[in-house]
Amino acid sequence: MGLIVIQRNGGVIVGSGGLRGRSGGVESVNGQTGAVVLKAADVGADPAGTAAGLVEALAETVTSQGQSIAALQQALTAQAQQLAALQQSDASQNTKLANQAESIASLSSRVAALEQGTTPSVPANALTDASGNLLTDGANQVLTTGAAA
């Protein structure tokens, strides 16, 4: 019977026995004769510990990718918040623009009335600003003080 030697994680396991159905011992293993000890490289296998090293390297890569994804999610959240703030600002600006449009329409109708010579009578006690412009309320009515003189 032949001697079979197996190397595992740096240790050697020795066994004896023959191959079933064959007579005599093994003449050679992987081109080697005598007491043959095969290593991972002899049979095209990864060296001991290589898989553990790959698992560790992959774990680092996965952790790094996870951190990158978290950073991208934070940046996306910040962009969404900025967009929401801009939309609020736009709504506020639209309200201001609508108010300005109403003021322009009111002034335009006054100009048209002046051009046509159909100015409404202005009460003697009408309030004016520092530039002499009539002050009006929200309904475009001229503001006055006390009783008319």
Q: List Cβ neighbours of 147 (8 Å cut-off, separation of 6 or more).
A: 125
Residue 136: its pLDDT value, please?
87
- The C-alpha atoms of residue 59 and residue 49 are separated, in whole angstroms, by 15
Give the predicted TM-score (pTM) of the model: 0.35
Tell me the residue ranges of DSSP E strands in 1-111: 3-8, 11-16
Residue 106's φ and ψ, nearest 5 degrees, are: -65, -45
**Measured distance CA(97)–CA(71) in Å, rounded:** 39
Over residues 18-29, mean pLDDT: 58
Higher pLDDT, 6 or 85: 85
Q: Give 32's contacts (C-beta < 8 A, 6+ positions apart).
A: 38
How do residues 56-65 score in pLDDT, each as one tens digit? 888 888 888 8
Tell me the domain boundaries of the chain.
Answer: 3-43, 80-114
Q: Which amino acid is at 118?
A: T
Locate 102 and state its tokens. Answer: 């109403």
pLDDT tens for 24-40 read 556 777 777 777 777 77
Give the torsion sign (CA, 103, 99, 132, 134).
Answer: positive
Structure tokens at 7: 């190397």
The confidence score (pLDDT) of residue 4 equals 58
How high is the mean pLDDT of the chain?
77
Predicted confidence (pLDDT) at residue 3 exceeds the cutoff of 70:
no
**pLDDT for the residue 79:** 92
